[in-house]
């Protein structure tokens, strides 16, 4: 039997505006090194841009997947049998669950530049984590994938 493709996979990539900011960081480094000559200026431009791009890329490399009966979100791997009800959060509700409604024990894969989210209750009594908060651009599709994975077990 061939393993099935992931019913859901999303990469929370950084917005395009962040790449412009990376270039501006490089320009800033170039201006700082301007008094030292042309070569340091070019090095600052390239090095500053590259360093900022690495940071933006690594922050935007978080992935959410539903694979083989598990929810994999960033570094967390949670069996769907330990997951309860899903709550699709619109931008206003997502902001509330990121701020004043947030529980410090919750696992949050949070990206503020993604306006919508999915909150999934944890039903495992031995796990102190009350819920998982996942920033996602497609909360309905993620909820459907979790439901499909739960029913296929």
Question: 24-63 pLDDT, tens per residue?
Answer: 999 999 999 999 999 999 999 999 999 999 999 998 889 9
| Structure token digits, residue 17 | 């505006």
108 plus 39 within the same structural domain = no
In a domain, 1, yes or no: no
Answer yes or no: is pLDDT of 73 > 70.
Answer: yes
32 plus 86 within the same structural domain = no
68 plus 53 within the same structural domain = no
In a domain, 93, yes or no: yes
Answer yes or no: is pLDDT of 69 > 90.
Answer: no
What is the number of domains present in the chain?
A: 2
Mean pLDDT score, 83-87: 94
pLDDT value, residue 2: 41
43 plus 102 within the same structural domain = no
CA distances from 138 to 8, 21, 80, 101, 145 (A): 10, 26, 18, 22, 11
- How many other C-beta atoms lie within 10 A of the C-beta of residue 125? 7
Q: Residue 119: enclosing H or E segment and its boundaries?
A: strand 117-122
44 plus 71 within the same structural domain = no
More confident position, 150 or 101: 101
29 plus 86 within the same structural domain = no
Structural domain of 51: 12-59
Name beta bridge partners: 109: 134
In a domain, 7, yes or no: no
In the structure, what pLDDT confidence band is assigned to residue 6 with cuts at 50, 70 and 90?
low
| Helix, strand, coil tally for the chain in percent (to 5) | 45, 25, 30
**Torsion, Cα of 54, 55, 56, 59 (10° steps):** 120
Q: Helix 38-59 crosses helix 16-33 at what angle (to 10 degrees)?
A: 150
In a domain, 97, yes or no: yes
54 plus 95 within the same structural domain = no
- How many other C-beta atoms lie within 10 A of the C-beta of residue 138? 14
3-class secondary structure, 145: helix
């Amino acid at each position: 039997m061939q393993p099935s493709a992931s019913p859901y996979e999303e990469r929370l990539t950084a917005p395009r505006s962040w790449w412009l900011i990376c270039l501006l960081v490089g320009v800033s480094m170039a201006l700082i090194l301007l008094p030292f000559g042309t070569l340091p200026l070019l090095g600052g431009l390239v090095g500053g841009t590259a360093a900022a791009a690495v940071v933006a890329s690594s922050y935007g490399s978080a992935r959410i997947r539903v694979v083989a009966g598990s929810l994999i979100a960033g570094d967390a791997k949670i069996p769907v049998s330990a997951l309860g009800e899903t709550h699709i959060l619109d931008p206003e509700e997502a902001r509330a669950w990121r701020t004043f409604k947030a529980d410090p024990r919750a696992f949050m894969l949070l990206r503020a530049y993604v306006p919508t989210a999915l909150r999934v209750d944890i039903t495992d009594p031995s796990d102190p984590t009350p819920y998982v908060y996942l920033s996602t651009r497609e909360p309905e599709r993620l909820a459907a994938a979790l439901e499909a994975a739960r029913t296929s077990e």
